[in-house]
Structure 1
């Protein structure tokens, strides 16, 4: 189920890009620092985003959907049928909603590394960067954080020319991975407030069960 993969949105699938490797103790080069600063500034200026995504899990299962992001802190991922689940954040946490079962459960937003990309003013240099890797076309930053479930790593993959986020990788404490790629992205679009609404009548459930 999607609700069991909130912390596992991705493994790298860019054909020209090699996976991030741990680089403990290595200092960023001046060129890397400048590029990360440019990426932070570029994405901070984007107040809203909308588009489509493709998610591929470790077994090769594929599912598509639509996403909406509004800074600071709001996001919605809606999976295409037959799934009835979606992930919504309203700035206080990430809620996994099951529209069929009418249930919801939450993870604290400050314990999900992806929050670094949802801030109003993005400063990736201030994040807990544990690895960096790049090809001619892409830069990947691996961020790590402690969560209620254990250590989670998210690798944000950016197009070096456009500075746009094109993919991210979330590896959960069990090592499970998913590929989460973005396409047909539109920037600075109007997003209805209702898209970030969580029905208070939905029953809260324990995400660990």
Structure 2
């Protein structure tokens, strides 16, 4: 079963297993600042992308699907069958679509940390960064934000060589985690407008 509430709350396996403090307890080094700026500029220049994702939850459950992103503020997560659920953002909010039941519900986009990666210009230095960790190959930037279910942390992992987003982890207030890995990514592709269409006849329901 897809843990939908958590999916909506952001874009990395975080390199620590516990919550860091709710504010970065040190100054970023000049090297970290420069790399985060480079990551923002590189990803801002990618106007569209599509690929596949693997989602793993805290219990080891695995779900796969495809995603489509178009800047600014559009993204679609489509889960492989037998799931009939999709997550679609069209700039106003994040909608959970159930095509079997023909229902939808939404979260406001300004309460979703994923907005930090979907905007026209990505500037992670303006987000609430609570932790930055680097290895030889990767940089992890953890962002904390207040959401409809409480304070959620989003750990974004970037490849230091390509500057691409490779993985992210969402950590909800209970400590439960949801990790996404991206693969088979294509950049600057044509995405049909219909991919971000939300059927207005679908019944609005409350989140479960």
TM over 0.5: yes
Aligned to 1:76: 76
Report how far residue 4 of structure 1 moved.
Answer: 3.6
Query: Deviations along 1:44-103, whole A, 9 cap, x unmatched?
Result: 000001000000111111110000000000000000001110100000111011111111
Aligned to 1:113, what secondary structure does the other structure show? coil
1:36-51 equivalences under 5 Å are 36-51=36-51
Aligned to 1:19: 16
Equivalent-residue separation in structure 2 for 1:102 and 1:205 (angstroms): 10
Equivalent-residue separation in structure 1 for 2:148 and 2:171 (angstroms): 14
Report how far residue 174 of structure 1 moved.
Answer: 2.3
Aligned to 1:166, what secondary structure does the other structure show? strand
1:187 is aligned to 2:184: no
Report how far residue 148 of structure 1 moved.
Answer: 1.7
Equivalent-residue separation in structure 2 for 1:109 and 1:35 (angstroms): 27
Aligned to 1:142: 142
After TM superposition, what 4+ stretches of structure 1 lie above 6 angstroms from structure 2?
Answer: 8-11
Provide the aligned C-alpha RMSD in A: 1.7
Alignment TM-score, normalising by the size of structure 2: 0.93
Equivalent-residue separation in structure 1 for 2:7 and 2:37 (angstroms): 28
Equivalent-residue separation in structure 2 for 1:10 and 1:175 (angstroms): 16
Equivalent-residue separation in structure 1 for 2:140 and 2:104 (angstroms): 32
Aligned to 1:5: 6
Equivalent-residue separation in structure 1 for 2:76 and 2:127 (angstroms): 23
Equivalent-residue separation in structure 2 for 1:158 and 1:203 (angstroms): 38
Is there any run of 5+ residues in structure 1 with no aligned partner, and where?
none
Equivalent-residue separation in structure 2 for 1:102 and 1:175 (angstroms): 32
Equivalent-residue separation in structure 2 for 1:152 and 1:54 (angstroms): 20
Report how far residue 183 of structure 1 moved.
Answer: 0.2
Q: For residues 138 and 22 of structure 1, do their structure 2 counterparts lie closer, same or farther at Cα, with a shift above 3 Å needed? A: same
Equivalent-residue separation in structure 2 for 1:66 and 1:189 (angstroms): 14
Report how far residue 11 of structure 1 moved.
Answer: 6.3
Aligned to 1:33, what secondary structure does the other structure show? helix
1:37 and 1:123 in contact (8 A); partners too: yes
